[in-house]
Amino acid sequence: MSHPHTRLLRKTALVTGSTSGIGLGIATALAAAGHDLVLNGFGEAAAIEQLRGELAQLHGVKVRYSGADLSDPAATQAMMDEAIGACGAIDILVNNAGIQYVAPVDEFPVEKWDAIIAINLSAAFHTTRLALPGMKERGWGRVLNIASAHALVASPFKSAYVAAKHGIAGFTKTVALEVATQGITANALCPGYVWTPLVEKQVPDTAKARGLTERQVIDDVLLHAQPTKQFVTIEQVAAYAAFLCSDAAASITGAVMPIDGGWTAQ
């Protein structure tokens, strides 16, 4: 049982890459659970403002937005400082922002490698290191890293992404061990293929790399990986994430959990 004062404390969740896709789904689920939000991501200012207002009104929570570019450690630090200054602490940190690029290793653009490592791996280090002091002070915290089935297995032509996601798995376990006695958990959630803008965008590139049609990529590459022959849905990932951020999940830490239609069971 948590102390009454921690339970009554209004919790704040910061979700990176939360203006669309999985991140928006998770932010919505956390708002529905009564948490104040800090959104982060790219997009058109008016659309983001509308989204911010709708989430706040619908769920009766405070919703802030930061447009910080997470490939830049200084911008990431400024976002965290501002959010912690406004909210007192980030109680729930969801590292979800990610980019992808598909190419053979010997043709992989160096700047794409650097950007993927920066956004998919290093950004999670920077947000976590800055969020932990406040969590430790309050004796409660949740760090949830949205990894990928590619944190557990590899696919060809995705060297940077697979390296970053495997790195996230190791980083998550290390954080979990460091804070295990302090009421803070750290976990990695590993979705298989979810139909999001990130996946949609890589279909033509994968088609080109493998000499297939786009339909063949969806059926023979993406869904071929998943024994269910279904895409994982954003809502399923969001529900799992919201559970892991709850008090009921206090004993789940250092876990790297697939939600992948059976992909990594094969």
In order of their start, the domains of the chain are 4-192+233-255 (3.40.50.720), 193-231 (no CATH)
Q: In tens digits, what is the pLDDT along the chain, a chain of 266 residues?
A: 444 444 456 799 999 999 999 999 999 999 999 999 999 999 999 999 999 999 999 999 999 999 999 999 999 999 999 999 999 999 999 999 999 999 999 999 999 999 999 999 999 999 999 999 999 999 999 999 999 999 999 999 999 999 999 999 999 999 999 999 999 999 999 999 999 887 888 899 999 999 999 999 999 989 999 999 999 999 999 999 999 999 999 999 999 999 999 999 99
Beta strands in the chain (DSSP E): 12-15, 36-40, 63-66, 92-95, 141-146, 184-191, 256-259
The total of other beta-carbon atoms located within 10 Å of residue 95's CB is: 29
The CA distances from residue 209 to 109, 196, 212, in Å, are 14, 20, 8
> Among all residues, which ones are annotated catalytic?
161
What span, in angstroms and rounded, lies between the C-alpha atoms of 216 and 193?
15
Residue 257 CB burial class (10 angstroms; 0-12, 13-18, ≥19): middle
Chain-centre distance of CA 26, in angstroms? 9
